[in-house]
């Protein structure tokens, strides 16, 4: 079975731009979560989607948003990028919200 | 104070040594997740446990719910075990996704 895939793997953007990151979960997994990892704050939960509905959201500003499609693929969007948004963005999938998660390789976003 | 604390922050060991990484948490959990992150960023899930002990190859994870403490042990360590090990709290709120992470333990195993 293929693992969680994330695209793109690397991205460079300029302050003020917006960005969309994509995550394809393991086949059959319906729950997708997103995490941000920075050297200063470590790993932090962004949001969780299950069956196209956002179930939980972390403490991030409204510039961070996401969605999940009927095939369980998910996207997250960051608008009006700031330098502090430079991070590794990780996606994880599971069969459902109560099951163990499996992580993707991440998208490394650099904001200049 | 962080909800999840790990020790030590950094650990250097020689090949073959027995390694212990500790994780303490201050609020309720439904389970504890141990993760491994290699340079380059990819994260691998090692264990998710809510009681007792789990073993997979040379890795053993234990948890003591009363003491709010978990340990990850690596027996017969090898340079390929060099990575950052992260524990994460799974909240008792009906989801295993809203994880709270420790700061990680950076392990280097030398020949």
Check CB contact under 8 Å for B96 and A103.
no
Over residues A24-34, the mean pLDDT reads 96
Task: Measure the N-to-C terminal CA separation of chain B; round to a whole number of Å.
Answer: 36
A42 touches B: beta carbon within 8 Å: yes
pLDDT score recorded for residue B94: 66
Mean pLDDT for all residues in chain A: 94
For the stretch B6-37, pLDDT in tens is: 999 999 999 999 999 999 999 888 889 999 99
For residue A99, give the nearest of B86, B96, B104 by CB distance.
B96
SS3 state at A28: coil
User: Strand runs (DSSP E) across B1-111, as ranges?
Assistant: 4-7, 10-14, 19-25, 31-37, 43-49, 52-56, 59-64, 69-74, 83-90, 100-101, 105-110
Chain B contact probe: residue of A43, A87, A96 with most B CBs at under 10 A:
A43
Nearest CA in chain B to A32: B97
pLDDT score recorded for residue A82: 97
Check CB contact under 8 Å for B97 and A101.
yes
Chain B contact probe: residue of A26, A45, A72, A99 with most B CBs at under 10 A:
A45
Nearest CA in chain B to A95: B96
Polymer length in residues for chain B: 111
For the stretch A45-75, pLDDT in tens is: 999 999 999 998 999 999 999 999 999 999 9
For the stretch B55-93, pLDDT in tens is: 999 999 999 999 999 999 999 999 999 999 999 998 887
Q: B101 contacts in A (CB within 8 Å)?
A: 42-44
Chain A contact probe: residue of B31, B39, B50, B97 with most A CBs at under 10 A:
B97
């Amino acid at each position: 079975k293929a693992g969680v895939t994330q695209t793109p793997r690397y991205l460079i953007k300029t302050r003020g731009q917006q960005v969309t990151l994509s995550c394809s979960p393991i086949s059959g997994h319906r729950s997708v979560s997103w995490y941000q990892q920075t050297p200063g704050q470590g790993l932090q939960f962004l949001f969780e989607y299950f069956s196209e509905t956002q179930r939980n959201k972390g403490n991030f500003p409204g510039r961070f948003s996401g969605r999940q499609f009927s095939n369980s693929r998910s996207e997250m969007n960051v608008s009006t990028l700031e330098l502090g948004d430079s991070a590794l963005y990780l996606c994880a999938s599971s069969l459902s919200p109560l099951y163990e998660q499996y992580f993707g390789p991440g998208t490394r976003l650099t904001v200049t | 104070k962080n909800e999840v604390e790990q020790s030590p922050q950094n650990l250097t060991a020689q090949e073959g040594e027995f390694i212990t990484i500790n994780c303490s948490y201050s609020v309720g959990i439904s389970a504890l997740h141990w993760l491994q992150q290699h340079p380059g960023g990819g994260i691998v899930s090692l264990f998710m446990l809510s009681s007792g002990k789990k073993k997979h190859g040379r890795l053993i994870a234990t948890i003591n719910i009363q003491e709010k403490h978990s340990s990850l042990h690596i027996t017969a360590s090898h340079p390929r075990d060099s990575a950052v090990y992260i524990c994460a709290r799974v909240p008792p709120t009906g989801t295993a996704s809203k994880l709270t992470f420790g700061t990680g333990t950076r392990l280097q195993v030398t020949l």
